[in-house]
Amino acid sequence: TLARIGVTGLAVMGANLARNLARHGHVVAVHNRSGSRTRALIEEHGHEGAFVACETPEEFVAALERPRRVLVMVKAGAPTDAVIERFAPLLEPGDMLVDGGNAHFLDTRRREAALRERGVHFVGCGVSGGEEGALLGPSIMPGGSAESYAALGPLLEDIAAKVDGVPCCTHIGPDGAGHFVKMVHNGIEYADMQLIAEAYDLLRQGLGMSPAELAGVFAEWNRGELSSYLIEITAEVLRQVDAATGRPFVDVVADRAEQKGTGRWTVQIALDLGVPVSGIAEAVFARSVSGDAGLREAARGLPGPPAPVAGPAGEGFVEDVRRALYASKIVAYAQGFDQIRAGSAEYGWAVDPGALATIWRGGCIIRAVFLDRIREAYAAAEQPATLLVAPYFAEALALAQRSWRRVVAAAAELGVPAPGFSSALAYYDALRAERLPAALIQGQRDFFGAHTYRRVDREGVFHTLWSGDRTEVEG
Ligand code: 6PG
């Protein structure tokens, strides 16, 4: 029998997706550039389902039913282009080439346009959930043509995570839409991780709590409105003890956060779109700061605050940090969803934010109870201009704000960096402000460059003759 789908690229993600498909009863052709991986997969997991092991791309393509579905699971960038070049000539109009890697959506747009000329559907497909998700049920974000989704969707929905029986997979929109939303997913992931790390740091330094005690705090938080995969694994990581030294695991890990690039792309694109994703940006910058050993070494001797007169107080501070974390998280997600709406408008994708929140409820790294609240906010008759003003979130922020302010103030007093918490609060305060000092900036611009300004009381563009008699003229 011919295979329903083929997977090429059998590193862990590819192998696990192939196994997931096979376990769901689909015949899966598998191929890898070096045959050893293919053989290892069949040897170790061949009994899990019906695999067709293929040595060459030609053999692989011949093993597939038509129209062919080819899932490419190789590294983003040049390796993806190399695979496309190798396989595209073997495909026929109507066939589908699915890129399940973390590709840049602009690369996806370019590849989609090139393959469309040959009649081949190129599907940039976000896949989240790490290795375990790939095997047991990821969140899947396919872009590309609606026609390709009709042929691929049922298979992908079959292997995706399910929440309340609803698959965590939906057609996101044309060409690069799937990879775009996956990019922003990762940006949000960075922001969420940074906020959790700040909460940990504040409680550890502010209250002197141990990692083991903090594991308990996060486990407790995971039972409430913060309940999420990232909070859950934070408790696990904090509970871990290093076997070699007997010290908390978190104390033996080098404090330099690495990054493969999706968070950075999110911020780069947000700058181009003019969307202030300050939470994601602070998270990317915080990783960069942590990784700059030379800079940190040079600055280590700079003075911090004198020992605080009265440190933050026990239980109350734990609850304050929990609320500050929740409020900051709402801001980070609101900004990420704003970027998705802006990207969707810019590229004409018509991404449905509610549908996206729905498929992020399970399978992916940012899966959380919270995503259901976002889904509800976008299900309202009138779409909120920002999630911050959707009734549920507006109320949550109002409830959290006193704690939030106390925590940001405490961070400054303690000398504990909390860029995520404080920038989120600044964003909140900026949005709700009656007047912003942007008026002064306009004045400065007009002063040094005659850049002109608008007035609050009259239509038109104006300029003040700063180096003359300082009267106002029409700009
Ligand atoms: C996912 C993750 C994954 C990403 C890792 C590592 O959704 O399953 O986002 O795609 O590769 O999170 O990212 P960094 O190395 O950039 O931290």
Dump pLDDT digits (tens) for 206-250: 999 999 999 999 999 999 999 999 999 999 999 999 999 999 999
- Residue among 260, 268, 371 whose CB has most ligand 1 atoms within 8 A, to mutate: 260
Cis peptide before 67 (omega within 30 of 0): yes
Burial class (CB in 10 A: 0-12, 13-18, 19+), 272: exposed
Task: Give 388 Cα–ligand 1 centroid separation in angstroms.
Answer: 26
Q: Could you say which of 182, 198, 282, 329 is catalytic?
A: 182
Task: Give 170 Cα–ligand 1 centroid separation in angstroms.
Answer: 20
Per DSSP, the three-state class of 449 is helix
Note the ipTM here.
Answer: 0.96
Backbone angles phi, psi at 425, to 5 degrees: -65, -40
189 labelled catalytic: yes
d(CA 264, CA 78): 19
Burial class (CB in 10 A: 0-12, 13-18, 19+), 36: exposed
Ligand 1 atom nearest residue 138's Cα: 8
**β-bridge pairing 462-464 and 139-142:** unpaired
Nearest protein CA to atom 10 of ligand 1, as residue: 128
What are the beta bridge partners of residue 7? 30, 71
Task: Give 93 Cα–ligand 1 centroid separation in angstroms.
Answer: 33
Q: In the structure, which protein residues have their CB atom closer than 6 angstroms to any atom of ligand 1?
A: 102, 128-130, 186, 189, 259-260, 262-263, 364-365
Cα-based distances in Å from 327 to 93, 188, 299 = 49, 14, 31
- Residue among 140, 180, 186, 233 whose CB has most ligand 1 atoms within 8 A, to mutate: 186
* Token pair belonging to 229: 């995969």
75 labelled catalytic: no
Distant-in-sequence, close-in-space partners of 89: CB < 8 Å, separation ≥ 6: none
Ligand 1 atom nearest residue 190's Cα: 17
d(CA 448, CA 466): 8
**What stretches in the chain show pLDDT beneath 70?**
308-311
8 A C-beta contact, residue 187 and residue 335: no
Q: Angle at Cα 349 formed by Cα 72 and Cα 113, nearest 5°?
A: 50
User: Can you give the pLDDT at residue 309?
Assistant: 60
User: Can you give the pLDDT at residue 310?
Assistant: 63
User: Can you give the pLDDT at residue 214?
Assistant: 98
Summarised one tens digit per residue, pLDDT across range 348-376 is: 999 999 999 999 999 999 999 999 999 99
Query: Which of 229, 230, 231, 251 has the alpha carbon at shortest distance from 240?
Result: 251
Q: Count Cα neighbours of 3 within 13 Å in the Cβ-side half-sphere.
A: 27
**β-bridge pairing 69-72 and 96-99:** parallel
Q: pTM of the full predicted structure? A: 0.97
Q: Angle at Cα 163 formed by Cα 159 and Cα 169, nearest 5°?
A: 45
Nearest protein CA to atom 12 of ligand 1, as residue: 186
The four Cα atoms 114, 115, 118, 119 give a dihedral, to 10 degrees, of -130
8 A C-beta contact, residue 324 and residue 400: yes
**β-bridge pairing 5-8 and 28-31:** parallel
User: Can you give the pLDDT at residue 468?
Assistant: 97
Query: Which of 342, 327, 365 has the alpha carbon at shortest distance from 132?
Result: 365
Task: Give 157 Cα–ligand 1 centroid separation in angstroms.
Answer: 21
Q: Could you say which of 112, 157, 189, 198 is catalytic?
A: 189
| Cβ count near 384 (within 10 Å) | 18
- Residue among 184, 233, 262, 366 whose CB has most ligand 1 atoms within 8 A, to mutate: 262
DSSP symbol at 306 = P
User: Can you give the pLDDT at residue 308?
Assistant: 60
Backbone angles phi, psi at 237, to 5 degrees: -65, -40
8 A C-beta contact, residue 28 and residue 60: no
d(CA 335, CA 332): 5
User: Can you give the pLDDT at residue 329?
Assistant: 98
d(CA 329, CA 191): 8
d(CA 199, CA 203): 6
d(CA 452, CA 116): 47
Task: Give 239 Cα–ligand 1 centroid separation in angstroms.
Answer: 22
Ligand 1 atom nearest residue 102's Cα: 10
Distant-in-sequence, close-in-space partners of 267: CB < 8 Å, separation ≥ 6: 187, 277, 280, 281, 284
Task: Give 417 Cα–ligand 1 centroid separation in angstroms.
Answer: 24
Continuous H helices in 24-93: 35-45, 57-62, 78-87
3-state secondary structure labels for all residues of 143-197: CCCHHHHHHHHHHHHHHCCEECCEECECCCCCCCHHHHHHHHHHHHHHHHHHHHH
